[in-house]
Amino acid sequence: MTVNLTNNTCNQIEWEQRFLISTIVYALVLAVGLPLNTVSLWVLLRRHGLRSSSAVLMINLAASDMLLALSLPLRVYFYATLRWPFGTAMCTAAVMLFRINIRTSCIFITLISLDRLSALVFPLRSRSLRTSGFASKCCCLVWILIILLCIQESVNYTRALNNSPCGSNIFCFEVQVEGVRTVALGQATFFLILLLINIVSTVMVICALRKRPSVDAAKVNNKMSVILIFFVNMMVFIVFILPFSLQLMMVTIKNEEKEHRGGSDSLRALICLASVNCCLDPLIYYFSLDSFWQDKSKSQGDATTHSLSRSMERS
C-alpha cells in the first residue's frame, strides 16, 4: 500500500490558492446543510415518528446527511489552514463519514423511490411490505453492511496517513490510498445499478399516472409532485454521485497502471460537488411533502402518495 503524495505536495505555500474553492464550498454546504437537516430530522421525529415506511426511510436519510454535515467543519478547517493537528483517528473518521453518507444516501433514496412506486403501482400487493417494521429492518441492514465495509477501508486509510511522506504535517483529505481498484469498480457499478432502478421506477410511475386522467388542478399538482420526486432522485445520482464515483474509479485505475501522481484536481472538485447532496435532500424530500408539517396523529404515511391515490380512486 502506498500513498499518492510527493515531497512537493508538502509545500504548504503552493496549495493555498488551489484549495480556496474547497474551503468556500464546504463552508456553504455546512451553513445550509446542517440547519436544514437538523430541522428536518426534528420535524420528522416529533411530528411523524416511525409510523410509516416513508417516515422511517426519510429519518434515516436525514440522519445520514447529518453525519456528513457534522464532519464538514473539519474539512473547512483543513482546506482553510492546510494543517491537520487532530491526529490520524479524527481524519479517518471524517473521511469515513463522507463515504458512509454517499453510500447510505444512495440506498435510502432508491428505497424511497421503490416505496413510492409500490404504493402507486402495486398498492394492494405491497401493503405487507410498506410497513414501518419492514422499513426499519431494511435500514438497519443497510447501516450494518456499509459500516462493515468501511471498517477495512478505515484501517487502510489510517495506515496510509501514518506512511505519509509529509511526516507530522498530515495532509488528511488529500491522501489517496492505492490498491483499492476492486472497491472503486464495485462502488461505481453499484451506483449505476441504483441509478437504473430509479430510472425504471420513474418510467413505471409516469406510465401508471398517464393511464389515469386528471380532471382538476389538485390531481395535476399531486401527479407533478410525485413525478418531481422521482426526477430529483435521478438527478442526485446523475449530477452529484456518479461523476465522483466514476472519477474515483478512473483515478484508481490510472494510479495502478502508471506512475503514482499527486491528488487529482477533478476528483477534489467532484468530492465537493457530491457533498452538496446533503443540502438538497431536506428541500426536496421533506418540504415538498404536504404532510411534512402536519401532526403525526393526522398523517398516515406519505401524504402526497395518499392524496394522489385517493384522488385516483374517485376518478
* pLDDT at site 180: 65
- What is the sign, positive or negative, of the torsion defined by CA atoms of 109, 287, 69, 132? negative
Q: For the residues 293-302, what does the mean pLDDT come to?
A: 46
Are 101 and 68 a contacting pair, CB within 8 Å?
yes
260: pLDDT strictly greater than 50: no
Distances (CA, A) of 295 to 12, 45, 226, 289: 53, 11, 21, 13
Q: Give 97's pLDDT tier (boundaries 50, 70, 90).
A: very high
- CA 248 – CA 188 distance, rounded (Å): 9
Chain segment 15-56, per-residue pLDDT in tens: 556 688 889 999 999 999 999 888 888 888 887 777 788 889
Confidence of residue 141 (pLDDT cuts 50, 70, 90): very high
Rounded Cα distance, 51 and 63, in Å: 17
Contact at 8 Å (CB) between 158 and 75? no
Q: Which residue has the cell 402518495?
A: 305
**Residue reference for cell 507530522:** 168
Q: Which band of pLDDT confidence, cut at 50, 70 and 90, is reported for residue 166? A: low
User: DSSP class of residue 86?
Assistant: S
Give the whole-number percent of the chain exceeding pLDDT 90. Answer: 21
Q: Could you give the CA distance from residue 269 to residue 79 in angstroms, rounded to a whole number?
A: 13
- Tens of pLDDT, residue by residue over 58-95, are 899 999 999 999 999 999 999 888 888 888 889 999 99
For 201-239, b where at least 16 C-beta lie within 10 A, e where not — what string?
Answer: bbeebeeebeeeebeeeebebbbebbeebbebbbebbee
Q: How far is CA 64 from CA 103, 108, 267, in A?
A: 9, 9, 22
The position carrying cell 438497519 is 140
pLDDT at 98: 92
pLDDT more than 70, % of the chain:
71
Residue 222 pLDDT class (50, 70, 90 cuts):
low
CATH fold, domain 7-314, is Rhopdopsin 7-helix transmembrane proteins (1.20.1070)
CA distance 215 to 304: 17
Determine the pLDDT at residue 315.
Answer: 42
d(CA 81, CA 74): 11
> For all residues of the chain together, what is the average pLDDT?
76
Give the DSSP letter string of 138-201: HHHHHHHHHHHHHHHHHHHHHHHHHT-TTTTS--GGG--BSS-HHHHHHHHHHHHHHHHHHHHH
pLDDT at 164: 67
- pLDDT higher for 218 or 164? 164
Q: Report the predicted TM-score, pTM, of the whole model to 2 decimal places.
A: 0.81
- Distance (Å, rounded) from C-alpha 47 to C-alpha 158? 41
Closest CA to 73 of 31, 37, 103, 104: 31
Spatial distance between the Cα atoms of 310 and 313, rounded to a whole number of angstroms: 5
Residue 201 sits at φ, ψ, to 5 deg, of: -60, -40
The grid coordinates listed for 254 are 490510472
Work out the pLDDT band at 245, boundaries 50, 70, 90: confident
Who has greater pLDDT, 76 or 177?
Answer: 76
What pLDDT does 144 receive?
96
pLDDT of residue 104: 94
Residue with cell 430510472: 199
pLDDT computed for residue 138 by the predictor: 94
pLDDT at 244 > cutoff 70: yes
CB 104 within 8 A of CB 277: no
Residue at grid coordinates 494510479: 255
Q: Is residue 234 over pLDDT 50?
A: yes
